Amino acid sequence: MSYQPNPINDGSIIGQYLNTELHKLADSLQNLEVDSTAFKIWNVEPDKPRQGELYYADGTNWDAGSGEGLYLYSAGQWNFIALLGASGFWASVTASINASKVTGAAQPNWSVFRDGIYAYAFSASALNEAWVCLHIPHSYKRGTDIEPSLHWAAGNTTNTGTVRLGVEYTIAKSFGVEAFPASTTIYVEQAANGTPYMHYHLDFDPADVIPADSREPDTLIMARVFRDAAHANDTFTGDAFILNFDLHVQMDRIGTLNSDSDFYT
Q: Is the dihedral of CA 49, 51, 55, 61 positive or negative?
A: positive
Q: Are 170 and 182 in contact (CB under 8 A)?
A: yes
Question: In this predicted model, what pLDDT tens digit does every residue of 38-87 receive, in sequence order?
Answer: 568 899 999 889 998 898 898 899 999 888 888 899 999 998 877 666 56
Task: Output the pLDDT for position 121.
Answer: 97
Report the length, in residues, of the chain.
Answer: 265
Q: If we measure between CA atoms, which residue out of 169, 168, 151 comes closest to residue 246?
A: 151
Based on the fold, state whether residues 109 and 197 are members of the same structural domain: yes
Which position has the higher pLDDT, 243 or 58? Answer: 243
Could you tell me if residue 262 is inside a domain? no
Based on the fold, state whether residues 71 and 99 are members of the same structural domain: no
Contacts of 53 (CB under 8 A, 6+ apart): 46, 72, 73
Rounded to the nearest integer, the mean pLDDT of the chain is 87
Q: Which of 23, 51, 82 is the last residue of a domain?
A: 82
Question: In this predicted model, what pLDDT tens digit does every residue of 59-70 receive, in sequence order?
Answer: 899 999 888 888
Mean pLDDT of 227-251: 95
Task: Output the pLDDT for position 11.
Answer: 60
Mean pLDDT of 133-160: 94
Q: Which of 57, 82, 107 is the last residue of a domain?
A: 82
Write phi, then psi, for 227 (nearest 5 degrees): -100, 125
CATH number (domain holding residue 178): 2.60.120
Question: In this predicted model, what pLDDT tens digit does every residue of 113-145 receive, in sequence order?
Answer: 999 999 999 999 999 999 999 999 998 988 899
Reduce the DSSP state of residue 31 to 3 states and report it.
helix
Helix, strand and coil in the chain, % to nearest 5: 10, 40, 50
Based on the fold, state whether residues 54 and 163 are members of the same structural domain: no
Could you tell me if residue 7 is inside a domain? no
Q: If we measure between CA atoms, which residue out of 111, 100, 104, 110 comes closest to residue 126?
A: 104
Could you tell me if residue 62 is inside a domain? yes
Contacts of 56 (CB under 8 A, 6+ apart): 39, 40, 41, 42, 69, 70, 71, 84
Could you tell me if residue 258 is inside a domain? no
pLDDT-derived band of residue 5, with 50, 70 and 90 as boundaries? very low
Task: Output the pLDDT for position 70.
Answer: 84
Task: Output the pLDDT for position 1.
Answer: 46
C-alpha to C-alpha distance for 238 and 95, rounded to whole angstroms: 24
Question: In this predicted model, what pLDDT tens digit does every residue of 86-114 receive, in sequence order?
Answer: 566 788 999 999 898 898 999 999 999 99
Q: Are 121 and 181 in contact (CB under 8 A)?
A: no
The strand pair at 240-251 and 147-154 is best described as: antiparallel
Question: In this predicted model, what pLDDT tens digit does every residue of 177-190 receive, in sequence order?
Answer: 999 999 999 999 99
Q: Would you call 61 exposed, middle or buried from its count of C-beta atoms within 10 A (0-12, 13-18, 19+)? A: exposed
User: 25-34, 137-146, 153-162, 238-247 — which is least confidently predicted?
Assistant: 25-34
The amino acid at 203? D
Percent pLDDT > 90 in the chain is: 57
Task: Output the pLDDT for position 83.
Answer: 66
Host domain of residue 218: 89-251
